[in-house]
A and B are shown apart, each in its own frame.
Chain A
Amino acid sequence: MSFNSAANTTASSLSAESLSSLDANSKKDISTFIESENAKQKVQMSIHQLTNTCFKSCITNVSDPDLSSQDQQCLANCVNRFLDTNIRLVKGLQNIQ
């Protein structure tokens, strides 16, 4: 797919020497950047997963492209029940240990 080929070409554009010549400040800068991007990416992926799950259970017809107020309520409830379940399961696992 075109997406993958684009990712591969950008990945190879940095030379090994330029990477090894990075000073401590730049390394720290990059690692801070990666950490924050990582956290954002986790949220982003959770939203992808939740939208996938909740769209399936809440949206029954797409003949109207706008979300009705019931749709919106259903999506919000779906997210909250999913997180309730997640929190309860984590607590349950902690009790088993």
Chain B
Amino acid sequence: MIRNIEELNALRDKTLKTMDIRLDRTQQPGTEGGKIHILVCGVAGCASSGSLKVAEAIEEQIKANGLAEDVKMIKTGCFGLCAEGPVMMICPEHVMYTKVTPKDVNEIFDSHIKGGKVVKRLLAGEKEYEEIRDRLPQIPFFAMQRRIALNNCGIIDPEQIDEYIALDGYQALAKVLTEFEPEDVIDEIKKSGLRGRGGGGFPTGRKWESSAVVKEHTKYVICNADEGDPGAFMDRSILEGDPHSVIEAMIINGYAVGSHQGYIYVRAEYPVAVQRLGVAIRQAEEYGLLGNDILGKGFNFNLEVRLGAGAFVCGEGSALMTSIEGKRGEPRPKPPRSAEKGLWKKPTVLNNVETYANIPQIIRNGADWFANIGTEKSKGTKVFALGGKINNIGLVEVPMGTTLRQIIYDIGGGIPDGGTFKAAQTGGPSGGCLPAEHLDTPIDYDSLTKLGSMMGSGGLIVMDEHTCMVDLARFFLDFTVDESCGKCPPCRIGTKRMHEILVRITEGKGTLEDLDKLEVLARNIKASALCGLGQSAPNPVLSTLKYFRDEYVAHVVDKKCPAGVCVSMVKFIIDNDACKRCGICQKGCPAGCISGDKNTPFAIDQEKCVKCGLCMEKCPFKAILKNA
């Protein structure tokens, strides 16, 4: 139990001594709490690629070598290099190893832990270095990042509240409860320029204010952790790697608007996040940081986790609230706004996970500190989930205003297998695609909106020449049609019609007229759908039509899919110059449509061909071409 700020500070100072080797790069072995710390990413991508087995192997090695006194293993949150998982770091030297298997652990112990010799082949990035201590910050992937929301991820054990407290955790809450009136908190957040990280980018301070001014006894604070954009996993990583930052921010939010009850609405698809949050809330309650008379300052706040059940629309504020009420998660018309009548018709503030993760540091370091980072209208940093055809798939956090080129090429390491960049998709099913001509645009809320996309929650999917933009638009409409809640006709019927047209085009049955129809429909849905999701559902179509109209035209006029994705338009042709007439393709063809023998050239009967592509896969001479 922490009864007051003095006790909080005492606990901070005491715990910090046991983990300071993880923070600075002094290279000095730790004095208290073990000489060496092995940090293993235990969340999301790394856990899926087997980091928990690596962790077990480390525990075994510690035991087998009798190193329990000196070596401590900590399961942390995300380091960001998800494609290289499992990732681990050894402190005090801050040596990062990637793609570690349980087998490698032996070598790491024999060579590094016991012998002090780095295992070069497992090093992250380039294997050569001059000074091991300077190495990590020089790796481009890390050099250009600035971590605020992900500050503690990869450093602390998310299941130990003490470690969060050691890194100034709950100090922002202490500051707010002693030095700030509720309206001062709102002023500070307003001054910082923080905008919602979940999609629309509404100014957070103003959001809080509009709920604070409503005079009602019962109010609610909600954290939207229903991260539904496919390809976005930053909220998952924050919840799994640093859950207390969100909890602390929600208590501050409660104090600022006069609410004593919060809810965190999490996707049920994130079981680890749900479990971590449960642990974190229990620890905060045991310490009295949640509950009554927090830090002896007379403020009460309670927090409850609610699970989603797999409905994308529940990421929309009013739909999320109806879902917490135990109903079908359908949005409702506004006004009244949620700030006046939200959950159970009470004033409600709803913020996204990443937005909350910024709050404690804004309070601790001051609004000016935060407002100095980023662009004129978009302050601070943004976490992006890099995915698709890019080398360094993972989580990156960069100041607003970083260009797409810097993110994709400098941090992301460019396109794999010598591919060419074709487009980047931001904002998920509500966003759009940015073509190569906009690679140098500084990314912030307004620049993305201007280009016909949106920030969304921060998914950034990179595509190369093998992605068909028409097919991608169809993919997103597939998603929207499937996830439309069905309440309003523009979304329910309109997206369905758009989808039908797109299917027609990808099957080679489209006409030029269809393209106009798509645009008209898209505009109408944007203008008339009930909620933000419906209004933004046509974006993927509109932006691909805007930047890749040629590809649509190729589909409807030439009946060709330039990327070779749309099956009905793909043609397999045998290149007779390269063909050695071995007959392997013929034997493998399930449709029996390949003719030819030793004396006659081989040919594919296009009428009979089912376009399975098996012949191309099997040909040892690469003599079968797709879509030539």
A binds B: no
